[in-house]
Amino acid sequence: MLDRIALIVVIIGAVNWGCIGLFNLDLVAFCFGGTLSLASRVIYCVVGLAGLWCISLLFRSRMD
């Protein structure tokens, strides 16, 4: 369950980075009051932690 949540959060973060690259629009900063707001920083940290969690998915054996 945690793997799936982490993957969803990472995908949302990737979409945000895509919007920054393509449109110069940071959706997290736009929705939560700028890149330095506490809410935005918490979101960025959650996405980063989810990314670290997803790294572990690469090295786990798949249980069938």
Name the band, by pLDDT with cuts 50, 70 and 90, for residue 61: confident
Can you give the pLDDT at residue 55? 96
Can you give the pLDDT at residue 62? 75
pLDDT, one tens digit per residue, over 27-57 is 999 999 999 999 999 999 999 999 999 999 9
Asked whether residue 64 carries a pLDDT value surpassing 90, the answer given is: no
pTM score, whole prediction? 0.86
The half-sphere exposure of 53 on its side-chain side, counting CA atoms within 13 A, is: 17
Long-range contacts of 20-26 (CB under 8 A, 24+ apart): none
